[in-house]
Structure 1
């Protein structure tokens, strides 16, 4: 009987052609499986974290980083309170100037560290620095979640505000005598903190605050003497006044800028100080001039005894010397008091005496500086300013004997 050949599928054909495992191959497979199971028993497997667990771990890391930052701010806040309490530890005694300078310098250093983003008392590569880097990465991942759910009790803004308030309280303390150096550091500190609102009151306090003095016989008795606001010592130094005015202009507060000008450049003490420092030498020369001219005339007359009498020669020489010096001095005085190249938008009104113009030149320059910042920068647009603040500035300038944007001096109005 003939056998019938039936077709075979490709799967059966591949199974038939497959090499059967020999005992050696089976032994190797058994050994490898046994070794793999022993490794699994030796190394415990860790369960794979779910997305919820990953978010919780990030929140925990953010909370720990935030705690470190909060502790740093608390430490800085405590440091500020300790520094400000140094002056009050000796109640009833005048506080030393060096101690106040040290406190203000420390305040300025702490404020600069916070504003610049540096953290004092932390070295590069320290654990605290590494935790801060972790906080930055976590904040980048979570966005504002950390800021909303974990607010800080003491923030950088509140710390800087505390420094400003404590510094002002130090200068207002009755046992503190404000010196020019202390005033300079205070203005620099408030300028750094962008809080110049207290500067006009401190300038007025600088001129009127009672001076504490200790009696020589009793060290525990302190007496207070009221100074005169018109004395030369009560004048605000020019660099300090200009720094305060720049801070007010940067804050764009017109009333504050005008108050600073009033308490500094418009003060009678400032005008007296200018006369003493700048006009005393020329005035002293004019006082000594007659004596010096008479001495020179007498020496001149001795050389011309043959041609004219000594008295007549002395009178001619004295008259000539005095006339020459007086005329040259008058021309120089008029040239100095009438110079207007430095004027930009604010000029003197007609009828203001030349002497007053020279005395109040710093006041006019300060107002000119404010007007330049509040008005249009382009010269072709000047005179088109409007608004309540500009009207207040124009009225204030007019009440001080000055003019704002005189028409005949503007571009195209010649």
Structure 2
């Protein structure tokens, strides 16, 4: 037979001997066929011409990563990790009517993130110490194909838990945890959840979780121990998504190259009324309070000025002159500063404000414009000389969305060579 004439390495022969059973009639030929097909595929990849082929390189790299992961993470470890995930997420099936403590939820999410990081990186992908290699490490020095084939017999048939399915389970369990009626989503919990889904490359649930963060009932415990849930207002300041969390979610959607997801994240975070109110309270309240108390402070200083110069002019006249001068100076300087802040455009790249948008609205919605500007920069051409030549359905959707929000994408008079 042709199968016998093909060369087989000593590692695969030892794996075949370990997997052989007395009553298994078709085990060795089946494994041998898999070995031959995988070996032939590996030789075909090596025999590819030296022309740059990005897809073949990616396939080979994924094969190496999969082989190393399969070789270092056994089925027993995957089963143990799966059991650990189910134990951590057991809270999602409990409904006691009492709010779950924030520290407990954070602990579960941190454990999920640690397990996911170990699965993604893999213990076999870290460099080993070269000073004192053990015999086991020397024994495990195999090619990618032999390592991949050696893991075939280690899989518990008819079903097995793979690393991809385990990562998907972690993502689903984390989402179910935040949707649990007894779990109140705090800013720290939301940040931990976004970090976990970003690590797992599963950002599809983030817009729904952002909306749930603003609308989920708030638990309140009475002195008698009874818990009641009140429905919050989505436009309240506490319902605003923190800016670092929203930026992390947007970067995750951009990395997934999902335009509709990126626009949904911007809509549920930067475009929400709660975010606008939170920005006014945290950034504009102090300057506005200063303008409110300005007349009183100016009159007090004017009275002191009139008492100091009472020998040269009447107190009333001196007070009026000083008050007018202080108010005129502060108002004019504040106006110049306000115009300078609201009309600054050095940070704008491809998305600019349309004509007629008020200056106050430009300042309030600057984070929204910056977010869609980042998306446009990732979806369009990188070279400035090629901007404006983008085509396609997604680019048309993006241009229409920007136009409806009072902005312009690639204004012609601001493009390269169109001054």
Cα deviation digits, residues 169-209 of structure 1 (max 9, x gap): 00000000000000000000000000000000000000000
Change (3 A) 1:304 1:127: same
Indicate how the Cα distance of structure 1 residues 52 and 409 shifts in structure 2: closer, same or farther if over 3 A, else same. closer
Residue 127 and residue 156 in structure 1: after superposition, are their counterparts in 2 closer, same or farther (change >3 A)? farther
Counterpart CA distance in 2 for 1:297 and 1:331 is 24
Q: How far 1:86 moved relative to its partner?
A: 3.5
CA pair 169-292 structure 1, distance change in 2 beyond 3 A: same
Q: 1 CA distance for matches of 2:282 and 2:335?
A: 20
Give the whole-Å Cα distance in 2 for the aligned partners of 1:7 and 1:190: 45
> How far does residue 85 in structure 1 lie from its aligned partner after superposition?
0.6
Residue 79 of structure 2 aligns to a residue whose secondary structure is helix
Return the alpha-carbon distance in structure 1 between the equivalents of residues 293 and 98 of structure 2.
47
Comparing 360-369 with 148-157, greater Cα deviation is found at 148-157
Name which of structure 1's ranges 188-197 and 37-46 shifts more when overlaid on structure 2. 37-46
The structure that has the greater radius of gyration is 1
TM-score computed with the length of structure 2 as normaliser: 0.77
Deviations 1:349-389 (CA, angstroms, capped at 9, x unpaired): 00000000000000000000000000000000000000000
Any residues of structure 2 matched to 1:74-153 within 5 Å, and which? Answer: 74-86=79-91, 88-89=93-94, 91-116=96-121, 133=140, 139-140=146-147, 142=149, 153=160
DSSP 3-state at the match of 1:135: coil
Task: Give per-residue Cα distances to partners, 1:81-116, cap 9 Å, x unaligned.
Answer: 000014544621100000000000000000000000
The TM-score with structure 1 as length reference comes to 0.78
Counterpart CA distance in 2 for 1:307 and 1:184 is 65
The separation in 2 between residues aligned to 1:305 and 1:377, in whole angstroms, is 68
Report the CA distance shift for 1:340/1:167 in structure 2 as closer, same or farther (over 3 A). same
Q: Is the 8 A contact 1:65 1:135 kept in 2?
A: no
Q: Is the 8 A contact 1:266 1:363 kept in 2?
A: yes
CA RMSD in angstroms, aligned pairs only = 17.7
Equivalent pairs, count: 408
Q: Which range moved further: 195-204 or 89-98?
A: 89-98
Specify the alignment match of 2:31 in structure 1.
25
| Distance of aligned partners of 1:147 and 1:46 in 2 relative to their CA distance in 1, 3 Å threshold | farther
Q: Is the 8 A contact 1:65 1:131 kept in 2?
A: no
CA distance in 2, matches of 1:17, 1:213: 65
- The alpha-carbon distance between structure 1 residues 311 and 109, as it changes in their structure 2 partners (threshold 3 A), is same
Contact 1:123–1:129 (8 Å) recurs in 2: no
Contact 2:75 2:154 in 1 (8 A): no
Q: How many angstroms apart in 1 are the aligned matches of 2:352 and 2:3?
A: 130
Runs (5+) with no aligned partner, structure 1: none
Q: Contact conserved, 1:249 with 1:370, CA < 8 A, in 2?
A: yes
> Are 1:172 and 2:179 counterparts?
yes
1:49 deviates by 43
Moved more, 34-43 or 157-166: 34-43
Give the secondary structure class of the aligned counterpart of 2:141: helix
1:161 shift after superposition: 0.2
SS of match in other structure, 1:403: strand
| 1:19-67 superposed Cα distances (whole Å, 9 cap, x missing partner) | xxx99999x9999999999999999999999999999999999999989
Does the 8 Å CA contact 1:207/1:227 hold for their aligned counterparts? yes
For residues 318-346 of structure 1, what are the alpha-carbon distances to aligned partners after superposition, in whole Å with 9 as ceiling and x for unaligned?
00100000000000000000000100000
Determine the C-alpha separation between the residues in 2 that align with 1:98 and 1:252. 34
Contact 2:78/2:163 (<8 A) preserved: yes
Secondary structure (helix, strand or coil) at the match of 1:79 reads helix
- Return closer, same or farther for 1:300/1:386 CA change in 2, 3 Å cut-off: same
Q: How many Å apart are 1:309 and its aligned residue?
A: 1.0
Any unmatched runs of 5+ in structure 2? Answer: 19-27
